[in-house]
C-alpha cells in the first residue's frame, strides 16, 4: 500500500451507535475551525503571543506525533513513506499541502508549500494581518510527526505565511543538528517548561508588585495617619471627603491652599482611591525646573535633541501613563509651556523634544497651587483655556490655623514618628508647650509643625518636650487657659483606655501593653504618671 491509497474510508471509522469517531483506530474529534480560532484568540489575548505560540506549537507537535505513532501501529510499512504525513494532515482537514519535497541524503530536509491553512485563516479573521508566520500548530504537527518518524529531533519552521499577506505558506523542516544555531531561538516554543517558567516569572512579579503596593499602602497610611486622615476638624474632614469623591471620576483637579498644608498628600489620596491606583503617581514641582528643562522633563527627549542629551529619555507624561501626574506649583508655568501643556491635554498625545512623531498618553492631571489661579487668569498671567482644562474641580485644603483641633493630634503623630526615627524615648509635651502649639499661627502649616517637632525631639533632654526645645518663632507665641483643659482631656482619655484594658485582661499588664501597641516599660511609666493625676 502507498500513501496515495490512504483515503477517508480507510482512516476513519464511525461507531454504529454514533458519538465516537476513530481515526486510524484512535478516537478523534471534528471541531469547528471557528471554535479553534476563538480558543487561539483567547490564548493570545490572555497569555500573550509568546505563550499562545508555545501552547499551540506543542499541541500541534502532540497531534503530529500521535498521528505518526498510530500510523506505525496500523500501517507500519507506510511510516517511512514521507508523503503519508502531508496526506494525513490533509485528511484531517487542517491544510492543503500543495507541494512537499523531501530528501534524506546527506541529511533529512523537507520543504512544504501549504494552501488554505485553517490557522492562517483564523488568525486573519480574529487578529488581522500578522507580521510573522502564525501557522504554529501546523509547524508543530510536522515537527512532531517527523520526530516520531525519524526517531530524532526534527523541527519545522514556517518561513512565509499567508496570514502576513503572502499567497501561500512555506515551511522548512530539518533535524536539530542540520538547523544548527538557527533553531535555538525557536526551541522555547517546543518546550513544556517554557510556560511553567513564564508563569513562575509572572507569579513572582505579581507577588513583588503586591508586596510593593502593600508597602506603599503602609507608608501612605502611616503618612496620612499622621498628616491627613487622622483629623478631627470638620473643615479637613470635609476636604478629605471631597477628595475621595473626586477620586472616583476622571476629571482634573486643582488643589489650592497655603504652602505646607499637604496638597501633595491630598493628591496621593485622590490617586490611591481612584481606578488608577495600581498605575504610577508621578509628581513634579513646576517652579523647581527652568522653562527650557521643563519641556524635556514633561515630554522626554530624543538622543541629540540638545547639548547633553546623550540618550533617549522618557518624560513625566510617559512615566505616568495610565496613572496620575501631579503638577505642583502649576501657577509658575511660563506662557510658552502653558500652551504646550494645553495642547497635550487636548490631544492626549505628546511629542518628545527632537522627535517628529507623537505618542499617545493617558494621564490624569492633578495640579496644585498656592496662588489664586482665578486672579492669575484675570491678570493675564495664566491662560483661561488651560485653567478650565485643569480646574474641573477645585479642592481647598484649609490652613492649619483654621483647624486648631488637629494641631495636637498631628503633633502627637509627628512626635511618635520623630522619636522612632531619632531613637529617643519622649512621652509627650509639657502643658505650656501644647498651649504654644495651639496658639501659634503656623504660617508654614503642617510642614512647619512637623519640622518643629523634629527640632524639639532632637533638643529634648527630658521625657517631655519643654518650651526651650521649640524653635524661637514658635516659643514666643502666647499661651491660653482653654488649651490646658484640652490637654487634660486627651490625657484623661488615654488613662481611661489603659486602665480599662488592664481591667478587661484581669490585670495582665504584659498582654494589655501588647494589645494597646505600646511597650511594657511605657505602660508602667504611664501608670506611674497616672498616680500623680487626680482621678
Ligand atoms: Zn501560515
DSSP line for 361-383: ---EEEEEESS-HHHHHHTTSS-
pLDDT of residue 475: 85
Distance 167 CA to ligand 1 centre (A): 10
Contact partners, residue 426, CB within 8 Å, separation at least 6:
415, 419, 457, 460, 462, 463, 464, 465
Handedness of CA 20, 23, 25, 29 (dihedral sign): negative
Distance 114 CA to ligand 1 centre (A): 7
pLDDT of residue 480: 46
Q: How many CA atoms lie within 13 A of 176 on its CB side?
A: 11
Long-range contacts (CB closer than 8 Å, 24 or more residues apart) made by 11-15: 11/88, 11/91
Say how far apart CA 129 and CA 166 lie, in whole Å.
10
Distance 171 CA to ligand 1 centre (A): 8
Contact partners, residue 78, CB within 8 Å, separation at least 6:
1, 2, 3, 6, 71, 84
Structural contact between residues 114 and 169, judged by C-beta atoms closer than 8 angstroms: yes
Average pLDDT per 10 consecutive residues for the chain, totaling 535 residues: 74 83 87 93 89 93 92 87 87 92 91 95 92 96 94 95 94 95 92 70 73 65 52 87 91 92 91 89 89 86 83 90 94 91 92 90 94 90 93 92 89 89 88 89 92 93 92 72 54 77 83 82 79 47
Cell of 311: 540618550
pLDDT of residue 311: 85
Distance 49 CA to ligand 1 centre (A): 15
User: Which DSSP letter does residue 288 get?
Assistant: G
pLDDT of residue 534: 38
Distance 117 CA to ligand 1 centre (A): 6
pLDDT of residue 2: 74
Distance 96 CA to ligand 1 centre (A): 11
Query: Which element (helix H / strand E) includes 396?
Result: strand 393-396
Distance 91 CA to ligand 1 centre (A): 18
Say how far apart CA 249 and CA 257 lie, in whole Å.
22
Distance 157 CA to ligand 1 centre (A): 10
pLDDT of residue 283: 93
Structural contact between residues 324 and 337, judged by C-beta atoms closer than 8 angstroms: no
Supply the angle between the helices 509-516 and 520-530 in degrees, to the nearest 10: 100
> Where are any strands of DSSP class E within 249-295?
253-256, 281-285
Cell 474641573, residue located? 392
Amino acid at each position: 500500500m502507498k500513501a496515495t491509497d490512504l483515503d477517508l474510508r480507510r482512516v476513519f471509522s464511525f461507531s454504529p451507535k454514533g458519538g465516537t469517531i476513530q481515526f486510524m483506530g484512535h478516537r478523534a474529534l471534528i471541531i469547528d475551525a471557528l471554535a479553534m480560532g476563538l480558543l487561539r484568540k483567547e490564548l493570545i489575548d490572555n497569555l500573550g503571543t509568546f505563550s499562545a505560540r508555545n501552547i499551540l506549537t506543542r499541541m500541534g507537535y502532540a497531534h503530529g506525533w500521535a498521528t505518526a505513532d498510530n500510523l506505525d501501529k496500523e500501517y507500519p510499512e507506510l511510516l517511512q513513506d514521507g508523503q503519508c504525513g502531508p496526506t494525513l494532515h490533509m485528511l484531517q482537514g487542517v491544510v492543503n499541502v500543495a507541494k512537499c519535497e523531501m530528501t534524506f541524503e546527506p541529511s533529512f530536509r523537507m520543504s512544504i508549500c501549504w494552501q488554505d491553512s485553517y490557522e492562517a485563516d483564523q488568525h486573519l479573521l480574529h487578529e488581522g494581518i500578522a507580521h510573522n508566520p502564525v501557522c504554529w500548530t501546523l509547524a508543530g504537527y510536522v515537527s512532531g510527526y517527523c520526530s516520531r518518524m525519524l526517531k530524532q529531533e526534527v523541527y519545522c519552521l514556517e518561513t512565509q505565511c499567508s496570514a502576513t499577506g503572502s499567497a501561500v505558506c512555506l515551511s522548512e523542516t530539518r533535524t536539530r543538528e542540520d538547523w544548527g544555531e538557527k533553531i535555538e531561538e525557536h526551541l522555547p516554543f517546543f518546550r513544556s517548561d517554557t510556560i511553567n517558567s513564564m508563569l513562575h516569572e509572572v507569579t513572582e512579579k505579581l507577588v513583588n508588585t503586591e508586596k510593593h503596593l502593600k508597602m506603599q499602602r503602609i507608608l501612605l497610611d502611616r503618612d496620612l495617619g499622621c498628616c491627613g486622615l487622622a483629623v478631627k476638624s470638620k473643615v479637613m474632614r470635609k476636604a478629605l471627603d471631597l477628595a475621595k469623591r473626586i477620586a472616583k471620576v476622571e476629571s482634573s483637579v486643582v488643589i489650592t491652599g497655603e504652602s505646607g498644608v499637604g496638597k501633595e498628600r491630598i493628591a496621593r489620596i485622590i490617586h490611591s482611591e481612584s481606578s488608577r491606583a495600581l498605575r504610577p503617581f508621578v509628581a513634579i514641582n513646576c517652579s523647581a525646573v527652568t522653562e527650557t528643562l521643563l519641556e524635556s522633563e514633561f515630554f522626554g527627549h530624543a538622543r541629540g535633541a540638545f547639548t547633553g542629551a546623550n540618550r533617549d529619555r522618557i518624560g513625566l507624561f510617559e512615566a505616568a501613563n495610565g496613572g496620575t501626574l501631579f503638577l505642583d506649583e502649576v501657577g509658575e508655568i511660563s506662557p510658552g509651556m502653558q500652551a504646550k501643556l494645553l495642547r497635550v491635554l487636548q490631544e492626549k498625545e505628546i511629542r518628545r523634544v527632537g522627535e517628529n512623531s507623537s505618542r499617545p498618553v493617558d494621564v490624569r492631571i492633578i495640579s496644585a497651587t498656592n496662588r489664586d489661579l482665578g486672579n492669575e487668569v484675570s491678570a493675564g498671567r495664566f491662560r483661561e483655556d488651560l485653567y478650565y482644562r485643569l480646574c474641573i474641580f477645585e479642592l481647598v485644603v484649609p490652613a492649619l490655623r483654621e483647624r486648631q483641633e488637629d494641631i495636637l493630634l498631628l503633633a502627637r503623630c509627628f512626635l511618635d514618628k520623630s522619636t522612632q526615627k531619632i531613637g529617643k524615648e519622649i512621652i509627650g509635651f509639657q502643658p505650656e508647650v501644647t498651649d504654644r502649639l495651639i496658639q501659634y499661627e503656623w504660617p508654614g502649616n503642617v510642614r512647619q509643625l512637623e519640622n518643629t517637632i523634629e527640632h524639639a525631639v532632637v533638643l529634648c533632654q527630658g521625657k517631655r518636650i519643654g518650651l526651650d526645645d521649640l524653635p524661637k518663632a514658635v516659643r514666643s507665641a502666647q499661651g491660653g487657659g482653654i488649651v490646658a483643659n484640652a490637654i487634660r482631656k486627651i490625657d484623661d482619655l488615654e488613662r481611661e483606655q489603659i486602665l480599662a484594658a488592664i481591667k478587661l485582661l484581669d490585670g495582665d499588664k504584659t498582654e494589655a501593653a501588647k494589645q494597646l501597641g505600646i511597650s511594657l516599660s511605657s505602660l508602667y511609666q504611664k501608670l506611674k504618671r497616672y498616680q500623680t493625676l487626680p482621678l
